[in-house]
Amino acid sequence: MSLKSLLGLIAAVTLVAACGGGGGSSSGGGAPDGGGNGGDPRLSGGQTTIFNATSEAFEQPAPNLSAAQQAKHAAGDARFDVQFVSAGNDVHPGLGPIFNADSCGACHIKNGRGRPVDDSGQTTEQIQIRASLPTADGDSAPYPLQNFGLQLQTDATFGVTPEVKVKIQYQSIDGQYSDGEPYTLVAPHYIFEQPYVPLPADFEYSPRVAPPVFGRGLLEAIPPERLEQLADPMDANGDGISGEIQRVTNMETGATGVIGRFGHKAGQPTIRQQVASAYQDDMGVTNPARPEESSNGQNQDDMRTDDPEISEEILEQTAFYIATLAVPARRDVDNPQVRRGEALFTTSISAGGLGCAACHTQTLRTASGAPLEALLSVSFPDDGPNPLADQVVHPYTDLLLHDMGPGLADGRAQSKANGQEWRTPPLWGVGLTDVTNGHTRFLHDGRARSLAEAILWHGGEAEAAKEAFRTLPKADREAVIRFLQSL
Amino acid sequence: MIPRAFAPARTALLLATAAIGLSACGGGSGGGDSSSEALTSFDAAALLENTADQVIYGIYQNMAEQANEMEAAVQTLVATPTAANVEQAREQWRDTRKFWERSEAFLYGPVTSNGYDPRIDSWPLDVSAMESFIAQGNITQATIDSADNNVRGFHTAEYLLWNDSNDANNVDDPQNGQDTAANVAAKLASSADRRDYLLQVVIDIRQTAEKLADAWDPSKDNFGDLLKTAGAQGNTTFSSQSSAVEQVIIGMRAIANEVGTGKIADPFNTGDSLSVESKHSFNSRADFKNNIRGIKHIYLGDFPFQSDGGADGVGVTDYVQALGATTADQAFKTQIDFAIDQIDEIDQPFRDSINGTPAQKQEIQNAIDAVLRLRDMINNDVLPLLNKTDFAQ
């Protein structure tokens, strides 16, 4: 690196810091995260925030990476886009034998949100179907289907049969705002075709659209103590919200009861495990953390002895890339309509708002020092400060499980999450979905065709919030949507 | 598409970060900090309309036309597999690919959200699956439609029109290491299934090219309307002209970065000739040049180039000049041509030059440096102008 480049980096970091966002300087209010919207409200990712509202908004490195961190991120970027092909080829072999997609970027297009179906109603590679046999709600992990495992792979290499093909049909559900304006929601109905062996009659399934992947490092860095502080599993405060921490197993260490943070039901404890599982289950690419094919023990096991098919270096670089992506800045934060919507979003129902922030926690603060090191599942080159340390961020999630009611239920338990519970999804960047991914499909299965529909699907603990939105005057409803579009 | 065999490195490097850091304090994507510096008013309507309707749609339209010509040439080839017809089909493949590579200066909108990019330009290929396809036979349009991306698109057609240039058994021309048209013709003549495969793959490319053109056709899907109406009520894709102009500029930066850090640099740094895109056709160098020519089209707002008889359209250059950055504008235009020239200095085939003599390697390094300089100029001289602009919408 030239001296000029090094000076450029220093200048960049200095300038971001000078903007007053994130970092340890924000304080006040006595709240653990520095209070309210500590610092510049545009800096959703603290010093990892990037100002970019284009199709590339989710694909940028955090601007506060050191030179070596940036180089590792760039290497991971290349890994993320590698298109795998079947074993035996010269370049990037390892795909399959059964898989859902041939690269990370095929599901997470532009690092963003997937859409569930194509024009023919066939599921895209941007949605995965988790499957298992019925299990009692509680602490047990899902029980895999014989000859299918825990995920239905809808594609396969040449000569191998996809486990199943899936179509989605949507049924209209008409509703009405309190001012008489009608709306229509669509409920998905899944049709499983051409299973390579018969599917069990009583299997449970859970469709999961690929979520945006930026900001994950920051979420991994949220101290457990803060999540425990947010949790209220018995609703001791009587506000009708009973967030619960997901507890799962770290597959590499064998540790149980580890906090789950990632995935629609928070089924993964770390970025590393999430990435390793995606390589294995989604692409059929074995790796040091998940060295067995997803078809292992099934009828279509490839019986090859080439595992793991990628190295520890590749797994680590890919996970590091995810951990160090920038978070896009908010737009239009001073727009009066946006501010009105923000007020409705954050104000409790009893005070005339929607109470959304009861679960979609606006502000969290990441750990630093030794506690941070203990949380992170990737290693950071030490030629500069850890870019995730002590950041005040605005992810709009509490990372907790909440009952979202029967309308959104998948009826499939996963560890602490029962069939109606989902982890609060982060909302940062949600307003950029259209420009990054060319659609506005939301919720875990992409059923909502707009942000308004996503709100109207809320139930369970969020029923009151949904109803408060439904009964708002039209101008206020539009303000809430405008606020979400600013995220 | 962004070739997946190389480090695509959409990541901007150090200077990119510096520029982004600058924009973090105002302007750019919704940055709203007031600045003591006076803003220059600019109405980007003409720039965005010309970019969408003349440059982007024009390039996709030309790609679709060339894809139709390629299909006709392959129809002739499969009916009469001769060396001359192989050469004609190869020429049409190059002519179609030329416009695709130029279009990589605007890899946003339907090309990514509708999956056209991986469908038409996946790399690497699943060669073993392709040969199994042919061995299985009965290849129809439905076969290709339901196939994975790594067995269709430009590079599958390339493989069938040039054979495997890394397979010594196929190489009949020690002068350049590439298989002859006569050998390709003979291989096609001996296998109806191979001919079917080639034809169906080319038909699929033509259909995808037509879908891309339709997606931007002002009288059809008109995706460009989102650019043209940036800042209008209800436009949630581009909520301001600033965000739309930023998209246009970022598109140029992305491909400059990709060429400089991925397409050329990755195989050069690793010496892995197997991973070189367009290695069978020896078209890698042309791919790089057309990527930069795509930047030139967008920057000048010209398609075809004014120097080729096209009109002088409103481009990013007009915006840069309107903001008073005339020196930077001229320097950028000079650098575009310099980068193309430097790429042209790379000895053919690129696949071999990456492991060639020190002089050959220096030529490659020169090309990398020139392209990265172009990227850095976008970061340092063009993108920051957004923070100095008061857009009309």
pLDDT digits (tens, 9 = 90+) for B110-137: 999 999 999 999 999 999 999 999 999 9
Residues of A in contact with B387 (CB under 8 A): none
Q: How many Cβ pairs within 8 Å bridge chains A and B?
A: 207
Q: Give B-chain residues touching A12 at CB under 8 angstroms.
A: 17-22
Select the more confidently predicted residue: B14 or B86: B86
B38-52 pLDDT per residue, tens: 999 999 999 999 999
Dihedral of the alpha carbons of A80, B1, B257, B360, in degrees to the nearest 10: 110
Q: Among residues A39, A108, A459, which one has the least CA distance to residue A275?
A: A108
Q: What would you measure as the largest C-alpha separation in chain A, in angstroms?
A: 66
C-alpha to C-alpha distance for A287 and B323, rounded to whole angstroms: 52
What does the radius of gyration of chain B's CA atoms come to, in whole angstroms? 22
Which residue in A7, A331, A339, A449 has the most chain B C-beta atoms within 10 A of its own C-beta, making it the best mutation to test that interface? A331
Chain B residues close to A56, C-beta within 8 Å = 10, 250, 254
* Predicted confidence (pLDDT) per residue in B140-192, tens digit: 999 999 999 999 999 999 999 998 876 555 455 545 678 899 999 999 999 99
Backbone angles phi, psi at B205, to 5 degrees: -60, -45
pLDDT in tens, B317-343: 999 999 999 999 999 999 999 999 999
Q: Is A390 helix (H, G, I), strand (E, B) or coil?
A: coil
Residues of A in contact with B247 (CB under 8 A): 54-55, 435
Contact (Cβ atoms closer than 8 angstroms) between residue A154 and residue A164: yes
Q: Is residue A208 classed as helix, strand or coil in its secondary structure?
A: strand
Answer yes or no: do B10 and A435 touch at CB < 8 A.
Answer: no
pLDDT confidence of residue B9: 39
Query: What totals of helices (H) and strands (E) does chain A contain, helices first?
Result: 14, 17
Q: Does residue A16 or residue B363 have the better pLDDT?
A: B363
pLDDT tens digits along B279-288: 999 999 999 9
Handedness of CA A372, A377, A382, A385 (dihedral sign): negative
Backbone angles phi, psi at A64, to 5 degrees: -105, 25
**The tokens of A294 are what?**
């997803």
Looking at every residue in chain B, the average pLDDT score rounds to 90
What sign does the CA torsion over B255, B256, B261, B267 have?
Answer: positive
Cβ of A215: how many Cβ atoms within 10 Å? 27
Tell whether ipTM is more than 0.95.
no
- pLDDT tens track, chain A, 487 positions: 333 333 333 333 333 333 333 332 222 233 456 444 457 899 999 999 999 999 999 999 999 999 999 999 999 999 999 999 999 898 999 999 999 999 999 999 999 999 999 888 899 999 999 999 987 655 567 889 999 999 999 999 999 999 999 999 999 999 999 999 999 999 999 999 999 999 999 899 999 999 999 999 999 999 999 999 999 999 999 999 999 999 999 999 999 999 999 999 999 999 999 999 999 999 999 999 999 999 999 999 998 999 999 999 999 999 999 999 999 999 999 999 999 999 999 999 999 999 999 999 999 999 999 999 999 999 999 999 999 999 999 999 999 999 999 999 999 999 999 999 999 999 999 999 999 999 999 999 999 999 999 999 999 999 999 999 999 999 999 999 999 999 9
Return phi, psi of residue A441, to 5°: -105, 130
Q: Nearest-CA neighbor of A286 among A314, A313, A315, A307?
A: A307
Q: Give the dihedral sign, CA A484/B18/B393/B45.
A: negative
State the pLDDT at residue A39.
Answer: 74
Which residue in A has a C-alpha nearest to residue B252's C-alpha? A56
Q: Is pLDDT at B368 greater than 70 in this prediction?
A: yes
Hey, which residues does A248 pair with through a beta bridge?
A258
Query: Do B13 and A19 lie within an 8 Å CB cutoff?
Result: no
- Its pTM stands at 0.91
Task: Determine the 3-state secondary structure of A224 from DSSP.
Answer: helix
Here the contacts of A305-311 (C-beta below 8 Å, separation 24 or greater) are A306/A87, A306/A93, A306/A94, A309/A87, A309/A93, A309/A94, A309/A285, A310/A94, A310/A279, A310/A285, A310/A286
At B24, give phi and psi (nearest 5°): -65, -20
Calpha distance B55→B302 (Å, rounded) = 6
B23 near B385, Cβ under 8 Å?
A: no
Q: What does the pLDDT read at residue B12?
A: 37
Would you put residue A149 in left (φ > 0), alpha (ψ -120 to 50) or beta?
left
pLDDT digits (tens, 9 = 90+) for B243-260: 999 999 999 999 999 999
Check CB contact under 8 Å for A51 and B28: yes
pLDDT > 90: percent of chain B: 83
Contact between residue B97 and residue B280 where contact means Cβ atoms under 8 Å apart? no
pLDDT for B168 equals 53
CB within 8 A of A292, min separation 6: which ones? A280, A286, A307
Q: Is A430 in contact with A448 (CB distance < 8 Å)?
A: no
- Are B124 and B266 contacting, i.e. CB atoms less than 8 angstroms apart? no
